[in-house]
Chain A
């Protein structure tokens, strides 16, 4: 590069960084947003950019580098002007994603994970991007592309090679369908924006809270904690300075889940109104929607809805003319970190830090965002609040089961005729859902995503409810042709990839578990490996810092319980086997010495 060109590049870089800083007011709690913005302009975050951002924010460069390194979608090294990430969840694997990824790599003459020599493109895998009902899918420079097939892959490779900018790619590539298959109280709801809020303002926050309590609304994120109780704790916690905070957890990262995507697309007013109602109930002035990076394509749409609501005085100061009812919502983007779905990790991320779960207590309801009382609620939970506010808690409590009131959105994908979103009253059985989605010859169901449970046919009578089979809503269907070991292995690899690495058991244990399953996959399994797996499962479950590590063993434990044959089939040996291939370990030396004689190989051994 000539000196002039170099100087220009540096000027461009500095300008891009300064624009990102200015856009976010040089606020260090907005570090993640600044980094995301700078990278949108620069394709990656060169060392100079990191230094400049750190200096401007008064942060140690090491801390900024640590944040860049934490998030999958931030890059400390160049990843090319085009970056294609294939979703690698098991459902997409079954839809043929690996072969499509290989095809694209072949067309572009590159290896997965490596940037092409001309710096144009890289292709890699990423965790589930919430498109299991219309996969295989991928992110291209962060934007979602669905319905991939060979034809579309070939077209993409052409577009990249001809360096066509993403804005000029065929619009249909980016089409995301709602695929709503069954509607109930939420998906049928026709409340006008502000309608529920008007009623709530009339009765006041305390009365609203009482309605939510009567409704017995429980968190839809999976844990099922009482929403009213969470709000009460938050309302009662002393708020110093900054005031209380409402956070909508739209970091829908659980593999196989996509119902929040549909709510954010077609029921955004419900979600924002739910947040505003929550603010009224707890006395919050600040709201955040934490939107997973994979749903970046929804950001403009959501900003438009927010703008409209501000114009309609449903947000801002003196909402609906109520004095002192001040509340507004800010959208924060994630950047590829499943752990940020954990509420305290999410708060860390909102503060611009690495998404590491905090020690609890104290809980976010008393010490959350910047130390303020914070209520973190799921998208679906919040979307239901306006309906409760409008129709009353008693009406809501009649739906579903006694302990699990209302309805649940299920994200159904995998081997079924009609994948998509199904809204059922709580208490629906797995068998009823399978019937509704047209699943045939079902061998297993993964309920609640990778962290959930793997159910076998004898359990299909179980009910979706907090007291029986709790779930955040993912339901992946596997028919008789599927290998349930491959299912578990996919999830275990997911956890190893997404572990934040904070605590010893999860950081090392998920990687060890991944290696154990890889060993079985390679045909080197013996019963000794099952002993190792069970020991790892126990340590992960009992000592991990948060739910990620605690759940990481679930797929394998359920697999042992319900699909033992899939594991036994891989116990090819009775006695100990190395985890690596000994003969392959000599390959490098063979190549360097040019030898291929008998003693340059290990004979096969049977045990």
Chain B
């Protein structure tokens, strides 16, 4: 008999060391996430996976599952909070979906559709973040960064190149690359690197491939991210 915890009243089996998010996902229950990636340790920065355990709000990705734990996820209070967090991400960057190559394949956008964040909540910051087109194959459009650090972690822990890092802090935090010139073109990043393929939004883009798939046929055009994420989990079994 495996151990279980409760997610919205439903029993979820888990193995020791599994997080609430990972166990739920394996059992076919989706908890939204942006900075979580199954092959990496939890990061816990986006907070989209917030769930309520007792009176406390915790990140499901960083909370170890334990017997008897009762987590609430799909309740109005938590859904509201997730919309609020998504709205913050939209407000802080320059997210203009119609002119973004990632539109239709973007996890931030897909989550907004799925969680029905269809109206802005906050004033836009309109930050000034110049793009970096110095690399022959890869474009960096910092305007869309959500600071999930997936590229940072992929480049450091998988590619072994340590191309990216975050600099400054607070609302001024931003992505930097390792070249003294500050230009991606002066680094050893390659198209095949995980870091060049892991961005959930439209920051790290392959050049000359924008808008290749017509509207209607893109990843999230027909099916919501909650379904597709669980299908990914299913396929990996």
Contacts and interface: CB of A to CB of B under 8 A. Distances in A.
Given A48-B180, A61-B179, A66-B167, A504 B88 contact: yes
A502 B45 CA distance: 6
Closest 9 CB pairs of A and B: A69-B167, A60-B162, A62-B165, A501-B173, A508-B88, A66-B165, A62-B178, A511-B171, A69-B168
A496 B170 contact: yes
B101 interface: no
Nearest to A519: B123
Contacts of A502: 45, 147
Interface of B: 42-48, 50, 57, 59, 62, 64, 81, 84-85, 88-89, 91-92, 121-123, 125, 146-147, 156, 162-173, 176-180
A504 B47 contact: yes
Contacts of B171: 496, 499, 501, 507-508, 510-511
B173 A359 contact: no
A87 interface: no
A504 B167 contact: no
Contact of B92 (A51, A62, A68, A507): A507
A15 B91 CA distance: 45
A504 B45 contact: yes
B57 A501 contact: no
A48 B84 CA distance: 42
Nearest to A501: B173
B167 A61 contact: no
The secondary structure that dominates the A interface is: helix
A337 B169 CA distance: 10
A359 B21 CA distance: 15
Nearest to A498: B170
A47 interface: yes
Given A60-B165, A539-B85, A66 B176 contact: yes
Contacts of B125: 511
B10 to A, nearest CB: 23
Contacts of A259: none
**Counting chain B CB atoms within 10 Å of each CB, which of A47, A497, A504, A515 scores highest?**
A504
A508 to B, nearest CB: 4
A493 B166 CA distance: 22
Given A501-B173, A504-B89, A508-B91, A65 B47 contact: no
Nearest to A46: B180
B123 A515 contact: yes
A504 B43 CA distance: 12
Given A62-B162, A65-B176, A515-B123, A542 B170 contact: no
A68 B167 contact: yes
A545 B44 CA distance: 8
Give the bracket for the number of chain A residues in contact with chain B.
35 or more
B50 A70 contact: no
B167 A70 contact: yes
A54 B57 CA distance: 39
Interface in A462-478: none
A61 B156 CA distance: 12
A65 B44 contact: no
A543 B80 CA distance: 12
A535 interface: yes
A503 interface: yes
Contacts of A361: 64
B181 to A, nearest CB: 8
B27 to A, nearest CB: 23
Nearest to B90: A508
Interface string A53-88: 010000111110110111000000000000000000
A145 interface: no
Interface string A486-505: 00000000001111111111
Given A501-B168, A515-B123, 4 more contacts: A62-B176, A337-B169, A511-B125, A543-B57
A507 B44 CA distance: 14
Nearest to B179: A61
A389 B44 CA distance: 41
Contact of A359 (B44, B121, B164, B166): B44
A218 interface: no
A256 interface: no
Contacts of B88: 504-505, 508-509, 512, 539
Contacts of A510: 170-171
A50 interface: yes
A356 to B, nearest CB: 9
Contacts of A60: 156, 162-163, 165, 178
A354 interface: yes
A329 to B, nearest CB: 29
A62 B177 contact: yes
Contacts of A65: 165, 167, 176, 178
Contact of B173 (A339, A507, A535): A507
A543 B59 CA distance: 8
Contacts of B172: 501
Contacts of A505: 47, 85, 88
Contacts of A535: 84, 121
B79 to A, nearest CB: 13
A50 B176 CA distance: 13
